[in-house]
Amino acid sequence: MALILLLSNTAYSLTADGFEGFSHYTYYGTTADNITLGWDQPDGFDVLTDDYEIELENPERNIIIPLIITLERQTTFKCSMTGHWIIRIRTRHWDGTEYKYSKWALSTDPLFARVNNEPHGWWIFAWIASTGPIEIYSPTGGGP
Amino acid sequence: MALIKSKELRFTPSASPDVVTNKLYITKNGIPLTYDSESYDVGNTIDLDTQKVHVDLRSFLSQKDGIFDLAIAAIDDVGNEADMMVMLAVPLDFVAPDVVSGLELL
């Protein structure tokens, strides 16, 4: 079974310092942005798929964070920390005794991932959201 | 002792959950702001009434009078800094006039 990862968000393209050597497409955003992740199973409905298990992997921090186990084929999340994030997803099936899992499908693997409907690996680069605008306030009133 | 009027800088904090503090950057006389500019850690304490971070500028300026460029950058748990939010050409004066002299009863 294969999974096709689809991503939709409002990210924009810039250059990620230090990571130019990778061919993955980079979606840019902040750790405050809501990111909607969608996926599909090209073979159609799979009776052996009970649900989907999704994790976020941050290679700079060398951490993997469980995101959600869901019956749905999309989920919305926020990257909890700065850096690059790779999405990992696999199917899960309870056979009455134990859970059986598919291989992990990685968003950086063109076999599973798509950009603009073409096979292409991708990841997310999340940065810190800026503060709001600065205001200068004089508690006692008056000029400078 | 002279009375110096207070002047607060206020801003809405970053919406990122990993922000632990904010840094105030200051330059004077039109010198461009960079991440190497004079800077101060101003914390991330949010005022409950305004839902903003308040910074009393009297505590942070090494030069007390002039036209300043100010910027705030949010900082996460490992020291990454957000894009600066900048305010240019801010007139600030934390210097009281000279004391009078020749005081006499007539």
Supply the ipTM of this predicted assembly. Answer: 0.81
User: Among A21-25, A128-132, B54-58, which is the least confidently predicted range?
Assistant: A21-25
CATH 2.60.40.10 fits A4-13+21-127, yes or no: yes
Q: What's the pLDDT band for A14 if we cut at 50, 70, 90?
A: very low
CB-facing half-sphere around the CA of B46: CA atoms within 13 A: 12
Buried b (16+ CB within 10 A) or exposed e, A112-136: bbbbeeeebbbbbbbbbbbbbebee
Listed by number, the residues of chain B in 3-62 with a beta carbon closer than 8 Å to a beta carbon of chain A are 5-19, 22, 52-54
Show the tokens assigned to A68: 């959600």
Domain ranges of chain A: 4-13+21-127
| pTM confidence score | 0.74
Q: What's the pLDDT band for A13 if we cut at 50, 70, 90?
A: very low
Element (H, E) at B30: none
Show the tokens assigned to A25: 């497409």
B97 at the A interface (CB within 8 A)?
A: no
Is B15's pLDDT higher than 70?
A: yes
Q: Which residues of B touch A138 (CB under 8 A)?
A: 5-8
CB contact under 8 A, B85 and A80: no
